[in-house]
Each structure stands twice: as C-alpha cells, then as structure tokens.
Amino acid sequence: MGKSNNTNPQPSLDWRTLAAGLLTVTLFASAFVGIRVSLRCYSPQSIALLRYLTASILLALFALAGKIPMPAWRDLPGLAFCGLMGFTIYNIALNMGEIRVPAGTASLVIASAPIFVALLAVIFYKERVAAWVWLGILVSFLGVAFISIEPGEKLGLSPRVLLVLLAAISAAIYTVSQKPFLAKYAPFQFVAYAIWTGTLLLLSFMPGLIRDLQTAQTVQTLAVIYMGIFPGVIGYASWSYVISRLPASRAGSFLYLTPAITILIAWVWLDELPRLRSVFGGILVLLGVILVQLVRSKKRS
C-alpha cells in the first residue's frame, strides 16, 4: 500500500489544467445567473428543454465528426436514469427554485451536493465514515438549514430553496450513478449519452417551449442557448479534461470557487446579492464539504 504512493506520484497542476479548471467553474457559475435572466420570458421547463436541445445538437455534431459509437443496449436503462437525475430533474428543480432564489444563494445550496455523494457512498458502496466526516455533514446541513429559513412572523423553510436542495440531491445521485459507466465509456461519451437521454425526457415540454419562443425576447433566448453551448457542453468537456489530469479529490477543490464566482457575476450582471444569512449558511456548507473531502481523500491515500 505504501509503495504505490512512490511508484504512482500525484499528477502536478500544470497551467493547462489550472486554466481548464478555472474555465469550468466560471462557466458553471454563469449558468446560475443565466437561469435568472431566462426566467423573465421562459418557464423553468422551457429553459431546461431549450438549453439541452441546444447541447444535444452540438454533441451530435461532435459525435458524428468523431464517429462515436452508440452505447450498448443493456446500458440504456442506466444511462436514462443518469440523464433523468443529472439533467431532467436537476434542471427543472433548479430552474423552479431560482424563480425566487438569487443565483448566488442557489449556487451555495448546490455546493452541498458532495455531502449527499458521501452519504450515498455509505449506503450503496458501504464506505466506512469517520467521525470527522459526520461532523462535516452536520455542519453542511446546518448551513443549508440557515439558507432555507424563511424569515417572517412564522419561521419556516423556503419551498424554493428546498427545490434547489432537490437539485443538489439529484446531482449527487447522478455523480454516484455514473461510476460504473465511466469504467466502460470515455467521459465525453458518457456525458453525451446522459444529455441525450435527459433531453428526450424533457421533450414532453415542447408545446410550452414553442409558446415561450413566440413571446420571448432575444436576450433571454440567447441566454438559454449560451447555457446549452458553454456551461452545457464546453463546461463538461473542460471538466472531463480536469478529471483526467487530477485525482477526483483535487479536481473537486475547483468547485469550491463556484459560489463566489456566481455571486460576482450576479452582482455585475443583475445587481443581485444574496442575503448575509445565506452567505453565512453557504460558508458553513463549504466548510462541511471541505472537511468531508479532506478526510475521505486522506483515507484513500
């Protein structure tokens, strides 16, 4: 066990990997803001469908140029489940949540996804969890609770924040579910298959999209198309490059920057800032996630 660390040194972070990581988190962050812009003219379901129709068409062109084979028939149900969780449910829940939730706040809630990945790993892969991991999970849940509290005469949980939390849970399920497929398919292939199946499941919202397209302004339509091309395809492609160059635990550290970049973009583009309570809750979420990731990466080394 100890010798393997010497014979397989950790890859170094070169400038290309650093650039790809920063590009990824910037594109992912911009999507939270793009959703807020698009909701001015489009329904949450129409945004999800138009965004991933755009991504699917672009991926199909890449697939034809690269002669990417179709997946095995026996893998289609599992790939469809990945598409359902990672693109259909995730996007509809996130888009519906952002009707009222600021972009920066939504990104802080989505940052809790690694906590659910850790919990799912315990359930499905029987990973043993140290006490420090449970502490990190508790801290993150306290942070999410802080963000979710709706002030007023009667304290309660914000339904829109809970929808964003559902998106974080679906993203975690997608992350765990893709593991066996990445042993069979290249990252780009898997992402293409998952996006295509997720888009097929969104096609029932086509009548609403056609209605929205007839009344939407150009700015909002371009925002959705942007999200399909840049965060949707280029962002995932650059992320696959980072994952191929670095261990998952080190690559994941880039994602901690996403909320801060989202808040900055939302402030510049929409003059929108999250409440101090949400920022404090988000700090707790990130502290918990960092603690969980650090402990788990040490156990694997």
Query: What is the rounded CA–CA span in Å between residue 289 and residue 301?
Result: 18
Report the residue count for the chain.
301
List Cβ neighbours of 297 (8 Å cut-off, separation of 6 or more): 247, 249, 250
* Positions of the chain with pLDDT under 70: 1-12, 125-127, 129, 150-157, 247-250, 295-301
pLDDT for residue 297: 60
Six token digits for residue 27 = 């594109």
Q: What integer pLDDT is reported at residue 155 of this predicted model?
A: 52
Query: In the numeric block, which tokens belong to residue 233?
Result: 């395809």
The model carries a pTM of 0.87
DSSP secondary structure, 52-71, as one string: HHHHHHHHHHHHHHHTPPPP
